[in-house]
Structure formats: C-alpha cells, structure tokens
Chains A and B, each alone.
Chain A
Amino acid sequence: MTESNRFWTVFVREVQSAVRTRTYIALGVVTGIVLFGLAYAGGGPAGGYVPTVVDTLVAVEVLVPTLAFAVGYRAIADPAVRGELDILDTYPLSTWSYVGGVYAGRALLLLTIVVVPLLALGINVATTAGPETTVFASHRGVDSPFLFIRFIALTGLYALSSLTIAFLLSALAGSRGRALVLALAGLLVITVGGDLAVFAGLDSGVTTSTLGGALAMTPAGAYRGLVFNQVLYVAVPGRSAFVPTWVAALSLLFWWGLTFVGAMLATDAA
C-alpha cells in the first residue's frame, strides 16, 4: 500500500464518518439560515453581489473560524484519548498520511458547510438582484458575480487556515476537556485577539506604514484585508491598498502550512 493510498483510506474514513454524523447537516443548515437571514435583514441580495458581501462579511469572519473549530477541535484529540494513535503507530502509516487524511476529510466537510450556503446565496443574488422598476434603462454598475466568487474563494482559504489551527490545538490538547478549552481560546485569539494585538500595538511598535503589514500577519486581518482588496474595493473609489495583497495571501498560506506542520509534530509527540 502506497503512502497516497493510505492517505486516501484515512480521508475516505473521515468523509464516511462525517456523512454519518447528522449534527453536521444541522450545522450546515443553521449556517445557511444565518447567512441568508443576515443578507436579507441587510437587504444586500436585492442590491447585488457587493452589497451582499458587505452585509455578511462581519458575520462570516466570526462564523468561519467557529465552524472550523467545531469541525476540528477533537480531530486529533479524540483518537489520542481513545488510544487509536498508539495502535496506528504499529501500522506502516506515516503521520503525514494520517493527519493529512483526517485534515482533508474534515476540510471537505467544513468547505461544504461554508461554501454551499454561500454559493446558494450567490445564486439567490443572481436571480433576485436588479432594479425595482423596469421603467428606466438599467445596468450592473461595478457589481459582478466574479467578485462574489472571489469572496467565496477567500472565505474558503480562511476556513482551511482556521482548520489547521484547530488541528494544532487539538493535537496539543491531550484530553477532550482541554481540547474544548483550547479551541475556545484559539477561537478568541483568531476572531478578536489578532486585531486587538495590532490595535494595542498602534502606539508602541506598529506604525502607520507597517499597519497594513501587521494586520495582514493575523489570519482574520489577512482575510478581511484580502476581501477589501479583491472585492469591496469597487465600492470605495480612490482606495485600493488596504493591506499588502501578497503579504496577506502568503500570511494565510503560511498560517495554514505552519500550523499543519505543527499539528503533525504534536501528533507525533502525543
């Protein structure tokens, strides 16, 4: 059995167990209701793709890491507690295949929960947005479905990075109780801590010229910055360099890669 086949086996096992878990379906449904509810409360879908992003961005920024932790906080901690990891040590299965397979399975689950409602919302905008009256000639303005696809892509990347962070903390936890506490702490750090740290650093270290870069270093800041750079910029003429795009993109990839490697090392140690 090759390394990639072992990865595939673990991945399939994860997907099958996710499909069997009904609560994930509930999680997806609730996510959909929240996104649609917010968008409709804000009136965005009637306006177009960009207004819909505007209405949902703040919620998505908190919702995505929350879902990532819900899906991933016990991904490594559980098998460790049950002693599965010790048994797996006796198989010819590398940590990479194992953690990678579990990660890929959970990632597919998370992306389904996040992306499917967003796609549905996008389709809804496509069918409902438009002028209130057909008396006048109308056009699309700067609004575009591509902007919404960018939003989904960036949200997906943010979700994947959040999930590796959840994996790292799960591998470090060692028990279910600690896994929950660590997950909540991690969630707070991602959704509030990063921005707060930059905010606190504004008068001591972070300068006007490094503010964009500093924000781009945090996962949430990088995500939000990229959404401004790639989606909302059309609504803010005259402003385009919210955060350095490449720094933010690399930062998200870096968080993703670094915490993934960290999760593997921690799993080995567990």
Chain B
Amino acid sequence: MRPALTTVQFFALLAVVLSTLVFATSFAVDTTSARPEPVAFDNTVQRGITMADEQIAQNRSISVPRAQVFYSQYRYVVGYVGIDQAVTALTEPGHEQQFGYPLVVYVSDYSDRPVRCGDDGSLRTATPPDWVEANQAHYVVNGSARVPSGPAVVPFADRDDAEAFADSCGGRVIDWEGLKGHSFDLEQAAAIREQVGPRRNDTNATVQAARQRRDRLVSVEVGTDAPTVQAAVDSAPPNTTVVVPAGTYEEQVTIDKPLTLSGPGATLDGGGNGTVVTVTADRVGVTGFDIVGVGNTTAGDPTKSNDSAWDATVTTAYGNSDAAVTGRNASGLYVANLTVETPASGVVLRRTPGAVVENSTVNGTADWQDGFMGVIGMHGSIVVQDSVFNGGRDGVYLHRADGTAVRNNTFRDNRFGVHLMYTSRALVADNVARGQEYAGVVVMTNPMANAIVGNDVRHSGSGVMLAGSRSYIAHNVVVDTTQAMSTNADRSLYEHNVLYGNDLGVRASTVVPSNIVTENDFIANDRHAISGPGPLRVYTHEGRGNYWSGAYDLTGGTGPTLGQSYSPTDSVDRRLHQTDAAVVLRSAPSVRGLRALRGTTPGFRRGTIVDRAPLSAPANPETVRRLRNETSIEEPA
C-alpha cells in the first residue's frame, strides 16, 4: 500500500504543479491581441498642424479630422491632426522600425453628425466627431471640403453617411487600404532641400524688382525745390526721386505715393518721439540716410486693437513699435543703405509683400531688454539681406511672414539673431550671428517647410533652435554655444551641419522622433547629443550617419563608415573623445553583451540616440579644417 504524503511533500507537489500551471498559462495567453480604447485627443502627442493653422481652425470653427495611433513599441498615444498627416506618417519608410507596428488606429467619425462644407468649403460640424477604427471607416477624398492646411479627408463609420457627404460636397468614397495607397501632396523635408535654389532665385527676382526704385528720375531736391523733406515729398510727382542733400533734417516724414526718397550723407532726426519715416503707398523707396531720434516706445497698446483676427494682440503690440522706417499695407517697398540708431525698432513692415531691406545697419540698445527688433516683418513675405544688426532684442522678427528670405546678414549681441513666429516656407541663409543671449536662429510655433541653411553662429546661448515640421536645416556652422541645435522640429532633415566646441551639440527634443539627422559633424563638444523623453532615435539615413569625434572602430575598417555603432547618449560612448579608457570599457564582454540585442526594442528605450553607421571622417572636411585652424574658437567674441 502507498503511504500518504506528508504535509511537506504535499506542499512541494503543490508548488511544482502550481508553477507549471503559471508557466503553461503564460504561453497560452495571446499577448498581442490587446486593443486599447481611444483616449481624449488633448492627451495625445500631437503632430501635423502648424500653430497658425490651429489658430485659424479654432477662430473660424473649422473641424479638422484627426487620427490617433497606438504603436506596438511606443508608450505614448500619437495624435495626428489631419488624416492625410497620419497616413503619410504611417506609410513612411523606417516608421515601423522606430515605433513598431500600429496596434490600432482610430480616426474621427463624422457619421450621424450635422457635418457640412460651408460656402468656402470649410469643414464644419456642430457636434464633435466620435472615434472609429481606421480600418472600419469610409473616407471621402478629393471633394471640396477643406481645412486650413488644405483639402480634407473626411472619415465616416457608416458608408451611407460617407456617400451622402460625397453627394453634397463632392469627392469619392474609399476604404482604409485605398487611403493608404493614396498619395498626399505633403512636402517632405528632402523636397525643401530642392526648394532652396528656387527660393534663392525668387528672392533675387524680388530684390531686382524692388531695386527699380533706385532708377527713378529726380523731380525735387530738398533745400532747392522745397524747404523740408515732407514738403518735397508732398510736391513731387509720383514715380520720381526726391533727393535729400547732405545735412541734418529734424523732421518726421510720411510717404503716401509711389516715390523714392534718397539721401546719401543726409541725417534724418525724428526728435526722439515716434516713427521717423512712415510709408503707406506701394512701390516706395527709402535709401541712403542716417536715421536718428527714433522714439523709445517698443510696443503698442494691445487693448486698442479693433481687429478680430486671432493674432490681433501681437499685431497691435509688436506692429506699432517706434521705428526708423515703418511700412503699412504697401507692396514693393525698398529700404536700402540706411544707418539707424534706435532705442526701439529699425524697420517695421506690416502687410508689405515684396518689401526688401538691404545693405543697412541697425544699431539697437546695448542691453536687449531695453530695445526692440532690427526688422519686424508681419503678414507678408519680405527680404532682409546684406545688413548688420547690432544689439537690440531680435535682429529680424517675423510673424506670419510666410516665404520670407533672411540672408547674408550679420547679427551681433542680440537676444535672438533671427526669430520666426508662425512663419512657414522661409529661407534663412548664410547669416552670421555672434554673441546672442539666447540663440542665433530660432523658429517657434510649429511652422513648416522652412529652410535654415549656411548660417554661422558662434559664442551664443544657442545656435539653431527649431520647432515645426518638414523643415530643412543644413550646412550651418555652430561654434562655442551652450547648445548648438535642438531638433524640436519633426519630420525634418538635418544634414551637413558642423557643431564644433559647444557645451552640447544636439538636444533631441521631439517626443516623437521622425527627423533625419545625417552627414553632420559633431566635434569637440562636451556632449555631442542628448535626448529628451521618447524612444530611441536612429541618426542614420540610407546607410550613412554622422561624424562624431571620438567614435572609433576596433575592426580597423577603412571604409567610409565605422563597423560599430555609436551612441552619443551612452555613458561609455560619450566619453570616447575625452578619455581613451572608455575604449577599454567599451570592449568588455558585458558591455558588448548589453548592446548585442538593444536595437530590437527602440520604441521602449528612453532618451537615447544611436548612429548605426558613424562616419569615419568628417562629412564637411573643408569647414572642419577651417575651424581647426582658427584660433579664436575658444575665445568669446
């Protein structure tokens, strides 16, 4: 007969059976079938809309269809404003490698909503849409419905509702698979690179057109034909030149007809109160003056705004700053060869499309807090080139000035050199910035398609600080700053920049990494790069990464890229250019073992950057050689 089990034996048996059960269960559970529920859109990491478009949509009650995506390897829910934005992101190459595959995608559901496209085509609904799974929705595309950024893709859970909407607003109905094959006309960052040349040419054409203001016949000479500058302006026939001989003229002038005011050697003194020259007509030229006596009011009273636009406060406050020259609602303004001393602004341009400021010098206040902007451009594209901005708040400040070009200028000791607000499709090229308190070039409020190329920033707080999307940041040189670049813009292309001798090279700050960072040179920075929240960033594109001083390869390869990947955020790698002992630690089996499989879970990794194909030599050898030969690098300006 079999003896009964003792208590201990019973528990031992129980433990074996239980643990076997638990283990068996873990294999039986399907871990991949979880399907998270949609979340409040405000809580998602949002992408896809410029702040300007967002403000317009809000101000005019336009409903923008949205999507939210749960990725297999990304902990945050990503929200896309615009279905076209979501589809473009989801079908981008390399997207899955970074975030894993989408576990589930939800889109706005306009079924059973009083949705309509108004007279202007704008998509509107009194009841906010619900959510539906993307692969169960029906989409109306190519219709007349619009959102601020362009044509709208409108999703419906119910096919009949989609058909009904297509009947009234046009377009056809397709499903999710069809939509994924649909090509949207969204500019990619690489396309912005191709636009740099055409933008330069467009700028040249704008400048050529404005320079015609120099060729007008002289009709009136101040002193000879008229007692004062204002009298001369008043008496001169349109489309002629008023000449102001050398001397000092204590007056303020208003130009309200197409006229060129030319005063090489002449000084205009505004008396220290208000703006000196005010232009209210098209095709005016102001050239060759020294302007002094500008008032010291830096900002207008925003409560006096009678404008209902969402940015009325900014327009009123910033657009009414005292200046040497102010242009309002005037096209084709040409301002050149001025030398301005100002406690407030230099040139203020509001709604002056095609205005050109060139070969001028604006000397602002020694302390930026006391002064204001060198040039303010608002509501319209302008050109600022070959000018010098000393001191003051920002050298060039742009607000909703899409398509503006700022090039070949020199900025010294300002707060920001160039400052873009709500401004897309701009060209900021070949400027030199030194000694900015905060940054050489800064782009805020998530605009898109900006090109920041060939700028040289040194001895400043930061170098080039980017926000927005689909921008092109290339061939910039940043030396001796506390932070050379921030990649706060997404889906942007950062290439051929040289970041030399900064406290920090790049701060990767978007939560959703989607930038291409390649062929840049990171040399002699205390930290080459650090990363904010969000998953692993891969700084390699089409087999080529960046040059990181200190990165090395024990395989002794002589190819263009190193065999071992480099991670500037890794505690060992980031010391490679500071101590050779890091080489020894990096070769340890345990350290190697840790790295062996790491790349398989990029989406779960926090705050890290890896370059899988670091370059074995600088990508911009000429620039690097020049920098290495310059002895002034270490010294403050």
Contact = CB atoms under 8 A, between A and B. Distances in A.
A41 interface: yes
Interface in A118-151: 130-133, 135-144, 146-147, 149-150
A132 B607 contact: yes
Interface in A52-100: 54-55, 57-59
Given A153-B26, A235-B100, A143 B533 contact: no
B76 A54 contact: no
B72 A55 contact: no
Contacts of A139: 36, 70, 75, 77
A38 B591 CA distance: 9
A137 B44 contact: yes
B76 A136 contact: yes
Given A142-B100, A153-B26, 8 more contacts: A38-B594, A50-B604, A51-B601, A141-B70, A141-B75, A149-B23, A235-B600, A235-B601
A138 B77 contact: yes
The range of chain B's interface size is: 35 or more
B533 A133 contact: yes
Given A50-B601, A141-B100, A43 B23 contact: no
A22 B179 CA distance: 66
Nearest to A233: B32
Contacts of A46: 606
Contacts of A266: none
Contact of B32 (A8, A47, A138, A142): A142
Interface in B449-478: none
A142 B31 contact: yes
Contact of B604 (A47, A150, A236): A47
A232 interface: yes
Interface in B1-57: 2-3, 9, 22-23, 25-27, 29, 31-32, 34, 36, 39-40, 43-45
Interface string B595-610: 0111011011111100
B590 interface: yes
A137 B77 contact: yes
A237 interface: yes
Interface in A220-249: 230, 232, 234-237
B74 interface: yes
A136 B77 contact: yes
B566 interface: no
B71 interface: yes
B507 to A, nearest CB: 15
A262 interface: no
Contacts of B22: 149
Interface in B564-587: none
Which one of B3, B23, B25, B101 has the highest number of Cβ atoms from chain A below 10 Å of its Cβ?
B23
B363 to A, nearest CB: 43
Interface of B: 2-3, 9, 22-23, 25-27, 29, 31-32, 34, 36, 39-40, 43-45, 70-77, 96, 100-101, 103, 511, 533, 590-591, 593-594, 596-598, 600-601, 603-608
B27 A150 contact: yes
Contacts of A147: 26, 31
A42 interface: yes
Interface in A129-178: 130-133, 135-144, 146-147, 149-150, 152-153, 156
B604 A141 contact: yes
Contacts of B31: 142, 144, 146-147, 234
A5 interface: yes
B594 A51 contact: no
Contacts of A55: 594, 597-598
A146 B26 contact: yes
A2 interface: yes
A137 B43 contact: yes
Contacts of B23: 149-150, 152-153, 156
Contacts of A141: 70-75, 100, 103, 603-604
Contacts of B100: 141-142, 235, 237
Contacts of B603: 141
Given A136-B45, A137-B43, A150-B27, A130 B600 contact: no
Rank and list the top 6 A-B pairs by shortest CB-CB distance, nearest first.
A47-B604, A153-B23, A58-B593, A137-B43, A149-B26, A137-B39
Nearest to B39: A137
Contacts of B533: 131-133
B420 to A, nearest CB: 25
B547 to A, nearest CB: 26
A43 B605 contact: yes
B98 to A, nearest CB: 12
Given A141-B74, A141-B75, A146-B31, A58 B594 contact: yes
A146 to B, nearest CB: 5
A142 B103 CA distance: 8
B72 A142 contact: yes
B590 A38 contact: yes
Given A48-B604, A131-B75, A143-B604, A59 B593 contact: yes
Contacts of A130: 75
Contacts of B27: 150, 153, 230
Contacts of B25: 146
Contacts of B103: 141-142
A235 B98 CA distance: 11
B594 A237 contact: no
Contacts of B73: 141-142, 235
A236 B600 contact: yes
Contacts of B76: 131, 136-138
